[in-house]
Chain A
Amino acid sequence: MTNSDSQTAPVLQTLPGDEVRQIMWRFAERFDLQMAVQSARGVARGPVARLVAAGERNNHEWTEAKNELLAAFDAAGLTAAFMEPELGGFIAGPKNLAVALIAFELGWVDGGAATCSLAGNLALSPIHERGTDEQRTAYMSRCVPSPANSDGPQRGAFCLTEPLPYVGVDTGVLGGKIRVAAWEDGQEPVLQVEKRGRFITNMDFASFVVAAVDADDDRIKGSCMVILEETDPGTYDRGAPTQKLVHQLSSTCDPVFNLEVPANRIVGGYDIVDGVIVPRFSHGQVIEAVFQRTRVTVGAMSAAKLLSAVEPIIRYQRTRFRGGDSTPGTPRHDLGLQMKEDSLQRLVDVWATGEAAASLVFAAARLFDRYDPLEEQKNQTLTAQGIRGARAQFRTLRKMQTRALEYLELIESAGHGADDERLSALEGDPLIQFLVQDSLAQVLCPACKLWNTGYGANMMREAVSLMGGYGVTEDCPGFLPQKWVDAQLEATYEGPEAVQRRQLSITMTNALFLAQFRGWIRELSAMPNGPAMGAGTLAAAMELWDWSLQYLQGTLDADGHKLYRDQRHGVTFPMTDALCWLLASHQMVLDVTELSNKGEQHPVVASGLPGTLQFMRDLCHVQAARAAGEVGRICAELVYGYEGQAAEGSRYGATPDESFDRLRLHLDRSLAGSRLAKDRAATALSRVMIPEALDYPA
């Protein structure tokens, strides 16, 4: 390496172990989660890895060997992890972080297995989030592996996507229909449900399906989700398996249903208003509640892929020239490809991306763990106030937006003569707390789904390329090529990138989110170890993004159209991508800060802490610089690219004034030292001790 600093700085001794991760991802005090991690790891690196190594991914049928995985998931408690303790689970309280950690461990080896284990949760989620109490108890308890379910636990499927030309990205145009089949006076109506699904996970063995359907009958209003069971009268055709090139350890089919079901299968129940069945939740409302949690989990799988690539790549690089007549003790023998700066630095990029992705997704999962009880409280509070229905709730909450903003301002000035009484009054208001957390949840969820999977897939390609030709063979250690294509599916299912960008383009303009975002800029600028982590660079990039967003919102293009608006994807979507870079890098800085605050007190972590911290800070710096580069490029293109004109009343001129240039220059100059951090991180990768062999078969 070129700089002398890299020779003297403490060096990473070993790959970060569980204790380091528990601190960074904030579950050091949660034994239930630590156990879930060990348990999921045992399945992933045991039976799952053996199946992949044995070539079981080379066919798309649901084979007996694949089916055995379900029993392995059950035995290891993974199926029950989603359930409440009174229904046979072992994790009390919200389970978003638990499920994300399980997805991470399974995804470390195989994304399909992770999907297979979690798709049951996807089927149960509509019932869990919006179902009636009876539905929740009935279906959750049937799905627990327990002696009470002597035939084994039931498994479900979630059926939204339909054959062309219906539901895909656009979930509004439903082909699935629901009609009244029979309705006798005073009796539960019987409904006829017709639904065709496409790409439905778990369908080879699901005994119930939660399907999205639209009313096709004057006696039913709107759309809903409805539970179908295998034993309902009519057709329950699982359909042909999808000829997948990805995730072959999960089951996917195109099923066909035409069944009669009682109306109490409508998820969340229904009311009868003037002789019409009115479902309490439309299918849109149900899937919104479901996806905002399950999408986080998908982001965890992609993060795991990147981090899992590090060890096999280091081993490949170091051993590349061993054997033959190479002599031990020579750099060629001992370092192999790690003699080459590029090999090391590209691996630094892969690791930094994985690290940032993991930080982002676990932050999102923890946020949902805080959000779940707040959402519950919000519903109770509003119901107690007699405010029912999504629209009425929305109106009430909108009116509270100003107070929530006031709350955020008071937090900022707390201790500096702020009105403490007012602050604690607002703090105690569950609706305000909900609004604040909601504004974050609506950003972090799509952000981790979008960035981890999309950019993660790009970086998996980079990881594969570091393995040379081996990288595109079935024998590649760590299953890297499989992980690369799997990441592409993870970017697609549960809402492709466009869906996440669309959501973000709206939610990231929420004043409550932006107020918190600006608070982060101030925090980053004042961080004690900020410069070592590139926190200043990150703050500069965040300021530039914030300024650019406001500019784009207040500017018209040459044709007089508003630049930042719903359908103008060319403007809004790149801004969402830019934000994701910032959010991931920000969470990474927070996690490394946590490690530096708590690591010293942990005897195991403390023993290698200087090296671990130096490396993690360097990775942070590398990532912050990379994020800043993306943000600078995107903002410059958008701000200058449209030759815009000021909208009426806008405080911006036709062309950006020198504010933009000043911020951009500040950003560029803040990059000082970021490449030295990369050099140091690269050196560390050439010295870090790795195990003799991968702990799962390849």
Chain B
Amino acid sequence: MNQGFHIAVCGSLVPDPLQTLEPIAGPQGPALKNEMMLPAVLDPWASHALYEAAHLARQDGESRIWLVSIGPRARLQQLMMSIAQKAVFELVACDGPAGGFTDAAEVARVLADTVAAIPELDPQRLLLFGGCASASRDAGATLQMTGERLGITEQFLNVDELTVQEGVLRIKERIEGGRYLVSACDGPPAVVGWATGMLPEPPNNPQIGMQNMRSIMPALQRAKSVTLEAPELTFESVTVPQQRRDTRIVKDTPTDEIAAELVQWLREDS
């Protein structure tokens, strides 16, 4: 019965996690120092969603994947030089801000409009994928709101596994206490907000990349420019989460020992 899913993966760029993030007051509100110049990666949660989508699509051979991204066009283009090598997808780009200081509801509005406007996308076959969170603005709400706007009420968040058996989606969601909730969903449309998933990062494959670029470059050129307005949104103050890096290089430590040390550290901290 399945002619494949239409998977829209929502995700954009975030600063490479190794970079120093220093909030500053920019002309349009808070920003990160040198944000435009810092190397960026695809939001790690969205990456998991993309790899899981690719995995799903490979299994049935009929599904299609769109990566729906709001971000500065030039930065998205650079991001594509690595991401486009990892999975076969089509890009739907909106030229707009991708930082951590955008309003989740606004992002959801633009994402929903953009997904709805994809000409060949069949809403009845839609799986709306994305991260259950984001490395730049962990609102944890963007995907739900996008789904709501698209009228999708089957929503699964913190997902680590999705399998399809005779058209039925079997979905494992993370719940409290390190346990999973397993649900069966009759089929699309559904929202799937991924946690880390189960798949490793695929290696870069320039051959896939070159194939993807044929549609990605025109998509970037077509990217319409969007503004994310939220006049009611103001920031009282902005700080990076308190963190202390205590890096020690210790080779060959058994995992149990690392775990014990972490537990002890958490106890001390609380």
Contacts and interface: CB of A to CB of B under 8 A. Distances in A.
A38 B39 contact: no
Contacts of B85: 35, 38-39, 77
A35 B206 contact: yes
Given A35-B206, A77-B207, A604 B78 contact: yes
Contacts of A37: 81
B33 interface: yes
A377 interface: no
A625 B16 CA distance: 37
B210 A603 contact: no
Interface string B205-228: 111011001000100000000000
Contacts of A602: 74
Given A690-B20, A692-B18, A695-B18, A32 B206 contact: yes
Contacts of B207: 77, 80, 90
Given A42-B203, A691-B19, A14 B72 contact: no
Name the prevailing secondary structure of the B interface residues.
Answer: loop
Given A17-B39, A31-B213, A693-B247, A38 B74 contact: no
Give the bracket for the number of chain A residues in contact with chain B: 35 or more
Contacts of B39: 17-18
B81 A77 contact: no
B72 A39 contact: no
Contacts of A445: none
A689 B84 contact: no
A297 B18 CA distance: 30
B59 interface: no
B19 to A, nearest CB: 5
Give the bracket for the number of chain B residues in contact with chain A: 20 to 34
Nearest to B245: A692
A19 B78 contact: yes
A81 interface: yes
A692 B206 contact: no
B18 A604 contact: no
A31 B79 CA distance: 12
Most chain A C-beta atoms within 10 Å of own C-beta, residue among B16, B85, B204: B204
B84 A35 contact: yes
A141 to B, nearest CB: 15
A691 B22 CA distance: 11
A36 interface: yes
Given A37-B81, A38-B85, A608 B37 contact: yes
A603 B205 contact: no
Contact of A17 (B37, B82, B205): B37
25 contacts: A13-B34, A17-B39, A19-B74, A31-B81, A31-B210, A31-B213, A35-B82, A35-B204, A35-B209, A35-B213, A38-B81, A38-B85, A43-B203, A76-B205, A77-B204, A90-B209, A603-B36, A603-B73, A604-B37, A607-B34, A689-B20, A689-B22, A691-B19, A692-B245, A693-B245
Interface of B: 16, 18-20, 22, 33-34, 36-39, 72-75, 78, 81-82, 84-85, 203-207, 209-210, 213, 217, 245, 247, 249, 251
